[in-house]
Amino acid sequence: MLPTFVRSTPDGTEQGEFLSLDLGGSNFRVLLVRVMADGEQKVEMESQIYAIPEHLMRGSGSELFDHIADCLSNFLEKMGIKDKKLPLGFTFSFPCQQTKLDESVLVSWTKGFKASGVEGQDVVSLLRKSIKKRGDFDIDIVAVVNDTVGTMMTCGYDDHHCEIGLIVGTGTNACYMEQMRNLELLDGDEGRMCVNTEWGAFGDDGALEDLRTDIDREIDAGSLNPGKQLFEKMISGMYMGELVRLILVRMAKEHLLFQGKTTAELLTTGICLLMDHENCLLDKEGLTSAEQVLRGLGLDPSVEDCIATQRVCQIVSTRAAHLCAATLAAVLRQVRDNKAAEKLFSRRLHKMVRRLVPDCDVRFLQSQDGSGKGAAMVTAVAYRLAAQHVERQRILDTLRLSREQLVEVKKLMSEEMVRGLSKQTHEQASVKMLPTYVRSTPDGTEHGDFLALDLGGSSFRVLLVRVRSGKKHNVDMHHKIYSIPQETMQGTGEELFSHIVDCIADFLEYMGMRGASLPLGFTFSFPCHQSKLDQGILLRWTKGFKASGCVGQDVVTLLKDAVSRRQEFDLNFVAVVNDTVGTMMTCGYEDSKCEVGLIVGTGTNACYMEEMHNIELVENDDGRMCVNMEWGAFGDNGELDDFCTQFDHMVDECSNNPGKQRYEKMISGMYLGEIVRNVLMDFTAKGLLFRGKLSERLKTRGIFETKFLSQIEKDRLAMRQVRSILQHLGLTSSTCDDSVLVKEVCSVVARRAAQLCGAGLAAVVDKIRQNRNLNQLSVTVGVDGTLYKTHPHFANIMQETLQDLAPQCQVTFHKSEDGSGKGAALITAVACRIKSEGQH
């Protein structure tokens, strides 16, 4: 199972002129292969055969390769292409250890060759050296090819489903496309590589002992390599005729044939070739052929002798076909689990293969000139892959950020934070740095029962959060989900808030707390202006809400008015809460060092505890206040233009808010899948993916969900997961190579998002450190959001970036649970604690 470093079969887009050198005996061929891909696949070939004199076969290696270079020069001269530097595929049919596609070390000479100084050397280097010595032409040796691989590649050009190569002739071998993760000899586990099975040696370890006969053992003992290539000796053309001859001799000696007579010719080893017996297998002319063959051996056969000889030929040939089919079935099973002979032999081979693997749809395609055309096709594919790789990487490089760029992002974020905090520049700043009026994180002494109301869409939650002091982390929660009818969302504000209050009353009854008077944390996920903790002026409705009489009003007043109308319970205090701040507070209850909140989910935002004297929008210089950065809008003034790609512009232009939330569109879950989809579309349009064929589903905006990125990047889920997602997207004929590339695109897009997030966070923690004049800061970040929590690498990449860009800050990450529910209640609890402390 030798790696061949051939990573892909032809896809029909290969084109150009390629040279092929086919060396496997005392004659060798040089070919010029022209591959055309304009409209239809077409290959034209011109070749010439050159002889290798015996003294060169047994002389020095340098003389041998000098002779090959001379012949190459002669061929190029004749073809009139000596001035071109063409790629060459080198079929070198001797036992080699291949280390790269263009590097192959000769293990040992066979077939009468004994040129000195070649064994243990890279044959490509020796050929290059001889070409350089001549100096009158140059070629680019791209690939060293095994003839079995050449067979697969030749057929692969005509049939893109061809993933197995089979040779059954003088010798036998097979190759197939194997998953890289199964090739433990090589590093890397993505994609596929062609494996040369060298299956002729199957059985050399004794695995076939139960199947071998005395005659098989006799053939092996008389061969040039006893104990080696045992499978080959049971099925290949080099030995099948000898098998027939030995059976006929044994039957004659036992007086079962030829009246017990033998002849000198019949007793001569190797005289009875398989080709003599192919015709014996045919029903109509079979007896006549058998008689001619036997008379040629000096025998005087009867009709019965001819029938028996024909039967022996059939039995030997059928056994060979069945053995070949059984091993091919094993290869097919392997290919399925991961994802060329003639006449009666081929029919029996096909029939047995289909019997052994009925669940594999197998088509046999005869190869024409696998070692010549095939070597050129390997070279053509290698050239195509190299050119496509360069183009793909050029595109992906626009999505890769250097350290210098990330340092610049951190610097720009820091500048925008200062602009957002300043009264003078606040209006123009893209990062608004909104005061939240949350003045403290929990200290563990908070206690009591609190309601939380989480309103951000067509359904909302009402929660009862019981906070117990003394023992930290003691929080009990109960909740119920309610829906808001469409007509209420778009009716009057009075109707909307009355509906909300009705649901709160229902919840209190459900909890057995009817008529209670409780403080409430109100997570109101719509744009608001806050001038104190218990006030939020609605700036505009979003997410399908259009309730009249609300914009420009304080949502706390609207809620309290609805409570008063119902006259069933009371809210003695209402805090308007941002979910990012809730995230920080939830984690702050368990870790007193938590002074930063971060959300990376559908959207993204951050908050942190800022010094009051820096918050110019609020009159008061004492202590700290949590600032809601609203950092998703970073870049709206052009700060990120140098980092935006064509794909970011496409996503932005097709969004509901072009030109807005630019940073969020490069980071958050709502947009990453769409960036990936646009990259895949671009690659496909350029013929770099899916063989240039787009599916209608992939053209659909939003069809590539961000959860796919997380699923695709989960380590060791292998390509099966990617393939199933691509099939869901209508890309049913995608290849393993397509899957590898899709995974790479997902990885690049997610990595950039995590790095951008890390750079922004670096600006935040460094600001806290500088505010406090510390050389080293130790701080905890409370994090929430599906992208952060479910993507297998996002958190690590973000943390690595943060550590690199803010080395003086030791940052711990704490995953938050339910910032908009539990967090909202804790903000209210802290506010109530501070209020009661102020009263004492």
Comparing CA positions, the residue from 767, 782, 784, 681 lying closest to residue 729 is 681
The C-alpha atoms of residue 790 and residue 175 are separated, in whole angstroms, by 40
The SS3 of residue 782 is strand
Beta bridge partners of 811: 779
Q: CA-to-CA distance for 236 and 736, rounded, in angstroms?
A: 33
Give the contacts of 686 (CB within 8 A, at least 6 positions apart).
391, 692
Going by the DSSP 8-state scheme, the letter that residue 122 receives in this structure is: B
Q: Is 275 helix (H, G, I), strand (E, B) or coil?
A: helix
Contact predicate 414/767, CB 8 Å: yes
Q: Which of 606, 608, 542 is nearest to 580 (CA)?
A: 606
Q: How many CA atoms lie within 13 A of 827 on its CB side?
A: 34
DSSP strands (E only) in 370-516: 434-435, 448-455, 459-467, 475-483
Listed in sequence order, the DSSP H helices in 461-492 are: 486-489
Backbone angles phi, psi at 451, to 5 degrees: -95, 150
Pair 816, 629: CB distance under 8 Å: no
Closest C-alpha to 580, from 593, 598, 600, 602: 598
Which ranges of 576-645 would DSSP assign to H, the alpha helix? Answer: 579-590
Q: What is the amino acid identity at position 681? A: M
d(CA 348, CA 574): 84
Closest residue by Cα to residue 762 from 723, 716, 800, 817? 800
First to last CA, the chain: 82
Report d(CA 25, CA 29) in Å as an integer. Answer: 10
Strand partners, 605: 599
Contact 597, 581 (CB under 8 A): yes
d(CA 751, CA 399): 9
What gap in Å lies between CA 590 and CA 586, rounded to an integer?
A: 7
In whole angstroms, what is the distance from residue 434 CA to residue 618 CA?
A: 10
Q: Which of 468, 477, 484 is nearest to 511 (CA)?
A: 477
List of residues 6+ apart from 72 with CB closer than 8 A = 19, 21, 30, 131, 137, 139
Q: Which of 175, 173, 178, 158 is nearest to 373 (CA)?
A: 158
Instruction: Return d(Cα 265, Cα 245) in angstroms, integer.
Output: 10
Q: Are the beta carbons of 523 and 579 closer than 8 angstroms?
A: yes
Cβ-proximal residues to 369 (8 Å cutoff; 6+ apart), any chain: 45, 154
Query: Is 689 strand, coil or helix?
Result: coil
Q: Find, among 189, 182, 23, the residue nearest to 109 by Cα.
A: 23
Neighbours of 271 (CB within 10 A): 16
The DSSP secondary-structure symbol of 368 reads S
Q: Are 430 and 639 in contact (CB under 8 A)?
A: yes
| Residues designated as active site | 461, 525, 579
Provide the token pair at 150: 């050449």
Overall size of the chain counted in residues = 840
Token match 């002889």: residue? 51
* Residue 468 · residue 474 · CB < 8 Å: yes
